[in-house]
Amino acid sequence: MQKLKEEIKVAIVGPCSSGKSTLRQALVSSGYRNIKMPTQEHSYVKDMWQRITKPDLLIYLDVDYPTTLARRPHIDLGPERVETQNDRLSHAREHADFYLDTSPLTPKEIAKIVLEFLNTKTLL
């Protein structure tokens, strides 16, 4: 059963600099009201995203290390830190309803792709 976009619970997870905050803003601007970002990349509890948010849909945004550096040149987390975040996100990645590698995409492209997916899952 489809839900109205104002009712659907969406969680967004992914490594740092993957575009989670920017996507959240775009979704809210498009009428989605229940968007959570459980910061799974910082938790040792692999299913924290599930426990905290209990989302209807889980969106996983991914990004490669070179793009991370380009998006935030003042914050170099190092490849080890990115690897740690990917490990912490493994459960979420396995259970994601939608996966998107944002590395080659602009914020507008990311929002467009995710909104197209969400529109198939919600009543407009």
Convert the pLDDT of each residue in 19-71 to its tens digit: 999 999 999 999 999 999 998 888 878 888 888 899 999 999 999 999 988 99
Q: Which domain holds residue 80?
A: 3-123
Please tell me the distance from the alpha carbon of residue 80 to that of residue 85, in angstroms, as a whole number.
9
- Find the CATH number of the domain harbouring 111: 3.40.50.300
Phi, psi (rounded to 5 degrees) for 91: -65, -45
The whole-number pLDDT of residue 42 equals 81
Confidence of residue 76 (pLDDT cuts 50, 70, 90): confident
Q: Using one digit for the tens of pLDDT, what is the confidence trace for 94-113?
A: 999 999 999 999 999 999 99
Number of domains in the chain: 1
Strands 122-123 and 98-101 come out as unpaired
Measure the CA–CA gap between 120 and 122, rounded to whole angstroms: 6
Planar angle of CA 102, 46, 17, nearest 5 degrees? 25
* Confidence at residue 47, expressed as pLDDT on a 0 to 100 scale: 84
Residue 77 to residue 118: CA distance in whole angstroms:
31
Cα angle, residue 30 at apex, residues 25 and 35 outer, rounded to 5°: 50
40 vs 73: CA distance, rounded Å: 22
